[in-house]
Amino acid sequence: MESIRDYGQYKQENWKMNEKTYGNENYVPSMRLSGVCDSLGVTGKKFGDGECAVTCKISENHLNAGGVAHGGLHSTMLDSALGGALVSLIKKEEWCATAQLDISFLNAAYVGDFLVAEGKVLRRGRNLAHCDGVLSNQDGKIIATAKGTWAIWESKPSSMK
């Protein structure tokens, strides 16, 4: 996976969506991930061909009681990156959801750190996909890693209608 370590401006060439691979209407070129991501300041930077990257700059609002970035932020970023990687591959009418996500928290992140979560699809089957990813800071230090399984439906599940 090509890294987005340059943290530069949003570049349209990083978005490789078309009508055949476009996930669902919640993923658009501006990469609005979710209300949760919006509230945390997590934004998309790369999306397409089974890969996705999201970023966030750590502020005081992201800290836990111990003064370091909360693990929930790391989890949200990794879930969004891995899930986004799958969404970049599924057909427009298909839907997916996280079925299982394992995260290893390796190092702390601090105020001012710029975090990048990069996810990729390892294998996509008819009803399941396996993804993995890494969360690192501006220096390339690995903060957390993740692997997960996503359920895939041929159309929007009745439980979501």
The whole-angstrom separation of Cα 156 and Cα 143 is: 34
Residue ranges of E strands in the chain: 43-48, 51-57, 95-105, 114-124, 128-136, 142-153
Asked if the model's pLDDT at residue 15 lies above 60, the reply is no
For 37-80, write each residue's pLDDT tens digit.
777 788 888 888 999 999 999 999 999 999 999 999 999 999 99
Contact 51, 1 (CB under 8 A): yes
pLDDT for the residue numbered 39: 74
3-state SS class at 29? coil
pTM value is 0.81
pLDDT at 22: 45
Amino acid type, 113:
D
Q: What is the pLDDT of residue 158?
A: 84
Give the model's confidence band at 92: pLDDT under 50 very low, under 70 low, under 90 confident, else very high: confident
pLDDT digits (tens, 9 = 90+) for 104-151: 999 999 999 999 999 999 999 999 999 999 999 999 999 999 999 999
Mean pLDDT over 152-161 rounds to: 86
Asked if the model's pLDDT at residue 12 lies above 80, the reply is no
Residue type at 25?
Answer: E
The predicted pLDDT at position 52 comes to 92
pLDDT for position 41: 80
* CATH code for residues 12-160: 3.10.129.10
Q: Tell which residue, 80, 101, 8, has the closest CA to residue 38.
A: 80
Helix locations, the chain, DSSP H: 35-40, 71-87
Tell whether the model's pLDDT for residue 25 goes beyond 90: no
Q: Where are the domains of the chain?
A: 12-160
The token pair at 66 is: 């111990």
